[in-house]
Structure 1
Amino acid sequence: MRILASLVAAIMMSWSGFAQEREERLSLDEIESWMRIIQVKPGMTGVPQGPQVPAEFRGDDSCRWANDNECDDPRYGTGACQINTDYSDCWRILSGAEDDSCRWANDNECDEPGLGTGACVQGTDATDCGDLVSLRFQRDSCETAFDGVCQEAGQGGDGSCAPRTDRSDCIGRERPLTIFDHYFGYDDRVFMDTSVFPWVVVGQITMDSGGACTATLIGPDVLVTAGHCIAGQNGVNFSGRFETGYDLRGGPRTARIIDYFMSPQWDYQRYRTTDDIDGTDWALLRIDTPLGDELGFVGIRALVTEEGEQAALRADIYQAGYSHDTGDHLSGNIACQMVTIYPDNTMAHECDTTRGDSGSPFMVREGNEYFIVATDSNFRRNPNGPYFYIAARADEWVPYYEDFVSGQLGQTRRPAGSDGVKPGGVITNPFAPAPVK
C-alpha cells in the first residue's frame, strides 16, 4: 500500500562509485537528498529471517540491488535479495568481520545506510557506527509496536510480532544522538488512529513517478505538503494520488491530485545547496474529490505572525506522518515543541520525525479543533551537536490559501495533452540529486 520513495538504489550505486574517486566527503545537499528518499525494494515489506550469522559467507552480486551499500540478504538485511546474491554489501556483517575499511571511517560520523549518511558500505565504518548497530534493520512496524510490551519471540514475547518489528518495546526507546535520524535521545512516537479526527485527514501523496510524502487536508479538496515532494531538479511533477483514513470502515479514501501552487520564491537548486530559502518548502495541492466534506479538515494558522515567537515556542505541537520505519502505520508525537524560530519562515523542532515524514503537519490544538502551523522539511548541520531539524512555517502560505481554494491560483492551466506536467519534460525521478561536481 505504501511506496515511500523512488530510485534510491540507483542513486546509492552512483554515490558508491563516486566514493572511490572523490577527494571530498558527500556534500550536505547530497546527504539531505538521500535522507529524504527511501527505496522500497521488493521484499522489504516482508520481515528478514535473521539474524543468522554463518561461520563463512560466500556468494555473488547477482541481485539487482547489489553494490548499493546496503545489505539485502534476508538472513540479516532488508530481504530484497535472495540468499547469497548481495555478497559485497553483506559479507562483513554476515560473517562477523566488520571493519573500518571505508575511506570515511574514524571521522566521528556514522556513514552506513539507515543509521548514517549512506556513504559507506554496511560494516565498513565500524568504529563510528559502533553504538548504533544494535538498531540496524530494526523497525516499529508490528501492529502492537509502541505499546510497552515486547512481543517478539526470543525477546521474551509471545511471537505475535515478527523478528525486528517491535524495536521500541524490545530494545527500548533510547536513541543515540549520533543516529542519522530525527530523534532527540528518545523516541516518543505513538501510533495514531486514522479513523478519527484529526488523524483521518493526515494521509499520503504517492506520486506516479514513485515518490511519496505525507500530506494533510486543509480544505474540502485542498492539501498541504512539502514543496520538495513534488519539485525536483527537472521541474515540478505533481501527478499522483492522495490516500487517507486507512483505519476507516470500508478502507481508505483516495483522490487524484489535479493542481498545485508553490512559493513564487521556490528555487530547487538554492533549496538543495543552501539554507537560504527553506521557508519556501511548501506546496498546496488540489484533489479531484472533496474528501474533506466527508472526513473534515484541519484549520490553518500563521502562529508566529499572529501570536509572536514566545507564544509559538510555548505551544504544544501535534505531529504525525508516515515514517519509513513504522510500516503502514501513521506515527506521531503528542505535545512536542518548537525550539527555535528563524526569520526565514522556518522553525527548528524536537518532534521525533524521520524519513517518510516530509510534508507531515505540525499542529496546535484548541479544544477539539486543530490548526496546522508548519510542515516537515529538512535539516541543517550543527557544528556543535546534533543536526537541527527544520519545518517550514505556515506563515508564508496562509496568505495564498483563500485564492487557491477559490481557484484563482493554480498551475494546471496548460495545453491539452501535457498530462499535468510543466513544460520541460516528464520527470522520472523528481527527488534524484544533481550530478556531483
Structure 2
Amino acid sequence: MMRRFSAALVTIAACVVVSFAATPDGSGRADDPRLGLHATETPKPPSTSTPRGNDSCQHANDNECDEPTIGTGLCRTGTDNSDCRRLRAGIEDDSCQYANDGECDEPRIGTDSCVQATDATDCAAIIWMRNLNDSCDTSYNGVCEEPGVGNGACAARTDRSDCHGRERPATIDDHFYGRDDRVRIDPQQAPWRFMGSFTNGIGERCTATLISRDVIMTAAHCVSSEDGIHPDGTFAPAAGGPTARSIAYLISTTFDYQRFIETNEVDAHDWALVRLNRPLGEELGYASVRRFTRRELAAPQDVNLQQAGYSWDTGDLLSANIDCHPIQFYDDGAFAHACDTTQGDSGSGFLIRSGRRYHLVGVDSKFRSNPGGPAKSIAVGSGAFFDHVADFVAGRTGRPANSSPR
C-alpha cells in the first residue's frame, strides 16, 4: 500500500507514499498527498556507521526514531537526534506542519509525514502503538511473551497483539478496521506454500503467488518505480527451499507508475505476471486464476477470501487473513476489501477455496482515502488480467526481465 514518506521510502512494500481520494466509480485524482501503497517494503539494514554527529546514523532524518529503547534500535544512542530528541525528553507537541488536521501523521501509525511526537493531538488515541509490532515468531498465539509481562520468549515490543490486545483505533493508518484479525500460518501447507516474497531489481520487496509451475502473480508497482521498470528479481518461497530468478514479465500497457501514485485512474492495471527460471510450482503447487462469479459480484460480503503477505509489522514470516471479504466492486475492475493488509502486503493474492483447490481472484494494491471514514484497502480484481494469463503462462507473451522498455 502506498503512502507519502518524507525521507525514506519504505513500503510500497519498499515504498512510496501518496494519498488517494475515491470517487463513486473508483477513479479520480488524489486530494491529499499523504496516504499510500500497500506497497513494497525495503527493510532497513542494521546500522554499521561510526557516529560523527547528532544525526550520523544512516537512518537519521526519516521521521522515525531509530535509537535503542525509545525507537527501532537500528541506530546507536545519540546518532538519530532529530528524530528522537522529543521522545528522549518526553515531549509531545504539535509542531508538525500537518498537526491538528484530524489525521495522525506519525510514521507507522500514521501517514509518515511528521516526525514522531510532533503531531500529538491527532495521534493521541494511538500513541500507545508507537514502536510496537508483532514481529516475534510466536506472535498471534494468544499468549503474551514479552519480558516483564510474559515469559520473555519474545523481545520487548514485538508481541503487540498478544500483550495489548487486537482492538485498534479506527483512525489508525494501517487499516485494521477496528481489529487486527491476522494469524500465523504453516507455510508448508496449501495455499500458503504457493506464496513468497519477490524482491525486484532495486531491492524492493513485495508478496507474490505462484499461479503456474513457473509463473508468479504480483502488483505492477512491485516491479516499477519513478525510475522505470525493474522486473529482474528473485522469488523466495515462504516454504523455504530453492529461490528462482525472474526471466520475463508482463504488465498492462496502460499502467503508468506516476499516474498510479498520483491518481486512482489506473488502479485496475496494478498487476504483473513474472516468469521464473525454475518450475517451483511443480513441487510447491499453485493457485489457478479465475474471475469473480456473478453471484460473488452481487453479494461481496458473502465471499470468503484468504490472503497472506509480508506485512511490515510481522517480521519475516507471513501473516494471514483466513476469513475476510470484498466490500465494494468498482466498474474499473478494482475492488475494496476488509482484509487486514498493510505495507508489505502489496502483490499478495486473494484466494477463494473450492474443495481442495484454490483460485486467485485478486491482487493487493494500495489504500484510497475515504472522506468521513477510514481509508479503503484496494485490490485489483482478476477480471483485469485474466485474459492475459494463459498466453503468458504458455510463453507466447512477455518481455525479458532484463529489458528496460521505459
**Same fold, TM-score > 0.5, yes or no:** yes
Give the secondary structure class of the aligned counterpart of 2:221.
Answer: helix
**Structure 2 CA distance, aligned partners of 1:99 and 1:219?**
53
In the alignment, residue 212 of structure 2 is paired with which amino acid? G
Give the secondary structure class of the aligned counterpart of 1:375.
Answer: strand
Report whether the alignment pairs 1:186 with 2:179: yes
In the alignment, residue 329 of structure 1 is paired with which amino acid? L
Q: 1:137 aligns with which of 131, 150, 164?
A: 131
**Structure 1 CA distance, aligned partners of 2:42 and 2:246?**
23
**Structure 2 CA distance, aligned partners of 1:38 and 1:299?**
26
Q: Is the 8 A contact 2:201 2:233 kept in 1?
A: yes
Higher Cα radius of gyration: 1
Report whether the alignment pairs 1:300 with 2:303: no
Report whether the alignment pairs 1:235 with 2:235: no
Map 1:155-174 onto structure 2 (within 5 A): 155=149, 157-174=150-167
Report whether the alignment pairs 1:103 with 2:97: yes
**Structure 1 CA distance, aligned partners of 2:331 and 2:89?**
51
In the alignment, residue 236 of structure 1 is paired with which amino acid? I
Question: By how many angstroms is 1:30 displaced?
Answer: 5.6
Give the secondary structure class of the aligned counterpart of 2:399.
Answer: coil
Which whole-Å deviations, capped at 9, do the CAs of 1:211-246 have from their partners, x for residues lacking one? 010000000001100111002223211011001133
Map 1:38-437 onto structure 2 (within 5 A): 38-43=41-46, 60-155=54-149, 157-246=150-239, 251-304=240-293, 307=295, 309-412=297-400, 420-424=402-406
Question: By how many angstroms is 1:423 displaced?
Answer: 4.2
Question: By how many angstroms is 1:77 displaced?
Answer: 0.6
**Structure 2 CA distance, aligned partners of 1:28 and 1:421?**
35
**Structure 2 CA distance, aligned partners of 1:423 and 1:372?**
28
- C-alpha distance 114-271 of structure 1, shift in aligned 2 (>3 A): same
In the alignment, residue 45 of structure 2 is paired with which amino acid? P
Question: By how many angstroms is 1:108 displaced?
Answer: 0.9
Question: By how many angstroms is 1:266 displaced?
Answer: 1.3
**Structure 2 CA distance, aligned partners of 1:346 and 1:254?**
31
Give the secondary structure class of the aligned counterpart of 1:130.
Answer: helix
Unaligned runs of 5+ in 1: 1-6, 13-25, 45-58, 413-418, 425-437
Which whole-Å deviations, capped at 9, do the CAs of 1:302-323 have from their partners, x for residues lacking one? 114x545124441111111111
Q: Is the 8 A contact 2:335 2:379 kept in 1?
A: yes
Give the secondary structure class of the aligned counterpart of 1:228.
Answer: helix
Give the secondary structure class of the aligned counterpart of 1:72.
Answer: coil
Aligned residues: 378
- Which moves more between the two structures, 120-129 or 229-238? 229-238
- C-alpha distance 10-332 of structure 1, shift in aligned 2 (>3 A): closer
**Structure 2 CA distance, aligned partners of 1:8 and 1:208?**
23
Give the secondary structure class of the aligned counterpart of 2:268.
Answer: helix
Question: By how many angstroms is 1:8 displaced?
Answer: 7.8
**Structure 1 CA distance, aligned partners of 2:255 and 2:327?**
25
**Structure 1 CA distance, aligned partners of 2:404 and 2:42?**
25
Paired position in structure 2 for 1:430 = none
Question: By how many angstroms is 1:67 displaced?
Answer: 1.6
In the alignment, residue 188 of structure 1 is paired with which amino acid? D
**Structure 2 CA distance, aligned partners of 1:408 and 1:312?**
34
Question: By how many angstroms is 1:422 displaced?
Answer: 1.0
Q: Is the 8 A contact 1:28 1:273 kept in 2?
A: no
Q: Is the 8 A contact 2:34 2:113 kept in 1?
A: no
Q: Is the 8 A contact 1:215 1:224 kept in 2?
A: yes
- CA RMSD in angstroms comes to 2.0
Q: Is the 8 A contact 2:35 2:368 kept in 1?
A: no
**Structure 2 CA distance, aligned partners of 1:300 and 1:367?**
15
Give the secondary structure class of the aligned counterpart of 2:320.
Answer: strand
In the alignment, residue 43 of structure 1 is paired with which amino acid? P
**Structure 2 CA distance, aligned partners of 1:43 and 1:273?**
32
**Structure 2 CA distance, aligned partners of 1:365 and 1:100?**
48
Question: By how many angstroms is 1:288 displaced?
Answer: 0.3
- C-alpha distance 382-31 of structure 1, shift in aligned 2 (>3 A): closer
Which whole-Å deviations, capped at 9, do the CAs of 1:79-136 have from their partners, x for residues lacking one? 1110111111101112211111112111111111111111111111111111111111
Which whole-Å deviations, capped at 9, do the CAs of 1:278-330 have from their partners, x for residues lacking one? 111000110000001111111111114x5451244411111111111111111
Question: By how many angstroms is 1:386 displaced?
Answer: 0.4
**Structure 1 CA distance, aligned partners of 2:273 and 2:6?**
26
Higher relative contact order (CA 8 A, sep 6+): 2
**Structure 2 CA distance, aligned partners of 1:82 and 1:271?**
37
Question: By how many angstroms is 1:71 displaced?
Answer: 0.4
Paired position in structure 2 for 1:19 = none
In the alignment, residue 353 of structure 2 is paired with which amino acid? R
Give the secondary structure class of the aligned counterpart of 2:384.
Answer: coil
Question: By how many angstroms is 1:196 displaced?
Answer: 1.1
In the alignment, residue 44 of structure 2 is paired with which amino acid? K
What is the aligned-residue identity percentage?
A: 48
